[in-house]
Amino acid sequence: MTQKPLPTGAGVLATTQPLPDYGKAPELSREERLRWYRLMFLTRKFEERSYQSYQTGLIGGFCHLYNGQEAVAAGTFAAITDADPVITAYRDHAHGLMRGIRPGPAFAELYGRATGVVKGKGGSMHYFNVDKQMYGGHGIVGGQTALGLGLAFATKYLGEKKVCFCYMGDGAVNQGAFHESLNLAQLMKIPVIYVIENNMYSMGTAVERHSAPVELYKRALGYDMMGVRAEAQDFDLVRQVSWTLAERARKENMPAILELMTYRYRGHSMSDPQYYRSKDEVEEYRKHDPVEILRGRILSEGTVSEKDLDKLEDEVRKEVQESHEWALASPYPAQSEIYTDIYA
Amino acid sequence: MAKIAYRDAVRDAMSEEMTRDSRVFLIGEEVAQYNGAYKCSKGLLDKFGPDRVIDSPISEAGFAGLAIGAAMYGLRPIVEFMTFSFSFVAFDQIVNNAAQIRYMSGGQIKIPMVFRGNSGGGHQIGATHSHAPENIYATFPGLKVVVPAFAADVKGLLKSAIRDDNPILVIENEALYGRESEVPDGDYLTPIGKANILQEGTDVTIVTHGRSCWTVLEAAQELHKMGIRAEIIDLRSIKPLDWPTVFASVRKTHNLVCVDETKPFCGVSAQVAAEVQRACFDHLDAPILRVTSVEAPMPFSSALEDECIPNVARIIEAVKQVVA
Ligand SMILES: Cc1ncc(C[n+]2csc(CCOP(=O)(O)OP(=O)(O)O)c2C)c(N)n1
Ligand SMILES: [Mg+2]
């Protein structure tokens, strides 16, 4: 096992082209900052509860947890608006919760209930919330990369000056659909940003065993595309680089790859013995925890007291517990639901 | 005879054939170091080394095509799809290359290879991960399709498939991997294209395959209590299909219920029903009924999913209707 790089605080690590200088991303207000912290903390607590629920048999099938990667979804989302479409793979709880899915319907979906965000039809891997431009949760690795291209194409076609953030795992860079999409994006100037959530593993396969170039942002080189590699445990650093690429996409319709270096604390799904990595490695990463980093930053800024943050966290814990209970008390879908939503 | 789990029978078949023939190799996602997502290749990396047990990145079109090309050149690859639901990413390679190249090359080329892996629903993994694709692949002349239900059959059929000079899909099922059943000792082959009569009976023929065999056997116990003697045919091979065995049974029982996990529209049971009504029209006492997956994508919720694939209640209902 090769040593995995730990965060250094550098933010952007490398690019295939010089990044344009649009200056600093607009400051977030105190309230906005707290909102993102709250969403990251909520995601963490939601996943912890999901883990327990899985262990006690309340959830069936696959369940891919986001612990450790929270600053990716939060930092990138905070660089765009809820009007910009996003789409991701099956590790999608964070993207759903941060794009307006309430924890109640989110849990209810995991528990297969009628009150689930997609009526119990999609499960953990298929959160959708089109009201807030969240176009799913997708289970086929790499399949969403072409869809993200299409969403971005449509916004450009309609003259909307939007950008689509399309999320994917490191393992998904090896799918043909992704390569075809990269070429189309650059050729047709489509405002899509491919956010590679590089958590170092594709199931049990470390990046150096699945990708010929281990620096995944270099996939952009073959397409004359902007490729950026950045550290991703720090919300503010993620937000800044995402904002720059989003601005570039809006102003110039230019696509990019944004490879964000992160880490998942849990197994791939729920039945992963994790023989492919050491406990020490996981512990090392936990020392660079994205939720803790933002918490510390907010406190050091002095705009919020520790007491207020504790209170916010208690509220979130309560919300998670109540949402879980509400979901559990929800009914299962009626049998007739099998045959609805098949055709429009 | 020893009782072994289905997944171990898969592993033993590959291991024996890889020992026999150095041209046989295994490629797929997580097949080597991880021992297979469903542990069907446990120990093979240690035994045969990384040149013959190959972990691939998530590039189904790429590694399926690699294997087809290697087969064109004379190797005998085994491709593992983590599930056949992901084989659709490689669909073009399978149906346009593996299936057609022998014909288009005027018989110059043969493609001796196996695509194998998990399939089917019932595990709450949703619409994209729960396909039972045997009917789809069986529509392409040039491909053979087998769907073994028991450890002995998966071993014997997989070994036959590896030795066969054609591209063959061996479609397994997650629900079966842990199930144990008797497997003959030593080297044996199960012929491709031969059905197996699981239980003899006089009142109704039930034609089934794959995981549904187990459901039908369970239903048959209930039917027995009601005084209905069902003859159960496990097709084992979908393409080619053992018509003589099916026809002979229907001519004996005069009734047919088809049970399988493919979709009702253009499914395996639809094919069986069409052929049987043609060949056995005068022998049938009642219209043929089918118990299949339902005409809907696979829902996630367990409350819905259980109704979407053939279950004991639906099988009993259909049989009662046919013999009434
Ligand atoms: C086409 C396809 N092949 C295989 C799989 C099985 N599978 C699901 S997730 C996964 C690993 C993906 O890893 P990565 O892209 O790094 O994302 P992560 O799970 O780390 O978020 C695999 C092989 C799949 N869902 N789809
Ligand atoms: Mg990964």
Q: What is the A173 CA–ligand 1 centroid distance (Å)?
A: 10
Q: What is the pLDDT of residue A122?
A: 98
Question: Rounded CA gap, A31 and A37, in Å?
Answer: 10
C-alpha span between A126 and A92 (Å, rounded): 7
Q: What is the pLDDT of residue B22?
A: 98
Beta carbons within 10 angstroms of residue B182's beta carbon: 11
**Amino acid A41: pLDDT:** 98
- Tell whether B174 and B206 lie within a shared domain: no
What was the pLDDT predicted at A3?
Answer: 63
Same domain for B300 and B201, yes or no, is yes
> Could you tell me if residue B174 is inside a domain?
yes
pLDDT beneath 70, residues of chain A = 1-3
Domain A28-200+207-328 sits in CATH at 3.40.50.970
Residue listed under structure tokens 């209902």? B317
Across A255-316, the runs of DSSP E, i.e. the strands, are 256-261
Instruction: Give nearest CA residue, ligand 1 atom 7.
Output: A141
B190 inside domain: no
Question: Which residue among B183, B214, B232 closes a domain?
Answer: B183
- pLDDT the model gives residue B230: 98
Arithmetic mean of pLDDT, B281-303: 98
* Same domain, residue pair B203 and B178: no
Statement to judge: residues B24 and B166 lie in one domain: yes
- Read off the CATH number of the domain in which B65 is found: 3.40.50.970
Q: Indicate the residue type of A193.
A: I
Break chain A down into helix, strand, coil percent, rounded to 5. Answer: 45, 10, 40
Does one domain contain both B165 and B201? no
Question: Strand B2-5 to strand B180-183: parallel, antiparallel, or no bridges (unpaired)?
Answer: antiparallel
pLDDT tens profile A89-132: 999 999 999 999 999 999 999 999 999 999 999 999 999 999 99
CB of B108 less than 8 A from some CB of A: no
Q: Measured between CB atoms, which of A61, A141, A210 is closest to B126?
A: A61
B191 occurs within a structural domain: no
B18 with B140, same domain?
Answer: yes
What is the atom index within ligand 1 of the atom nearest the CA of A140? Answer: 26
Q: Which of B160, B183, B206 is the last residue of a domain?
A: B183
Cβ–Cβ of B58/A202 closer than 8 Å? yes
Examine the domain organization and report whether B161 and B300 are in the same domain: no
**Closest approach of A135 to chain B, Cα-based (Å):** 16
Report which residue type is found at A142: G
CB pair distance less than 8 Å for B89 and A140: yes
Residue B317 — pLDDT band, cuts 50, 70, 90?
very high
Q: Does B123 touch chain A if contact means CB atoms closer than 8 Å?
A: yes
Residue B292 lies in a domain: yes
CATH number for position B226: 3.40.50.920
Total domains in the fold of chain B: 2
pTM for the whole thing?
Answer: 0.97
pLDDT in the model for residue A7: 86
CB proximity A142 to B under 8 Å: yes
pLDDT in tens, B122-138: 999 999 999 999 999 99
Number of cross-chain residue pairs from A and B with Cβ atoms under 8 Å apart: 118
Which of B34, B57, B299 minimises the CB distance to A120? B299
Q: Say if residue B116 is in the same domain as residue B39.
A: yes
B264 interface with A at CB cutoff 8 Å: no
User: Residues B212, B128: one domain?
Assistant: no
Q: Is the pLDDT of residue B206 over 60?
A: yes
- Domain of B204, in residue numbers: 196-323
- DSSP secondary structure string, A224-238? T-EEEEEE-S-HHHH
Judge whether residue B239 has pLDDT over 80.
yes
Distance A194 CA to ligand 2 centre (A): 14
B124 and B26, same structural domain?
yes
The last residue of one of the domains, among B126, B150, B183, is B183
- Ligand with minimal distance to A90 CA: 1
The total of other beta-carbon atoms located within 10 Å of residue B287's CB is 11
Name which of B129, B294, B301 is nearest A121 (Cβ-Cβ): B301
* Residue in A243, A328, A184 with CA at minimum distance from that of residue A26: A243
Q: What is the pLDDT of residues A11-63, one digit of tens each?
A: 999 999 999 999 999 999 999 999 999 999 999 999 999 999 999 999 999 99
* Contact at CB, A112 and B300, closer than 8 angstroms: yes
Q: B130 to chain A, minimum CA–CA distance in Å?
A: 11
Residues of B with CB below 8 A from A211's CB? Answer: 57
Q: What's the average model confidence in pLDDT over B217-236?
A: 98
Q: Which pLDDT value is given to residue A141? A: 98
Residue B195, pLDDT above cutoff 60:
yes
Average pLDDT, chain B: 98
* pLDDT at residue A4 in the model: 76
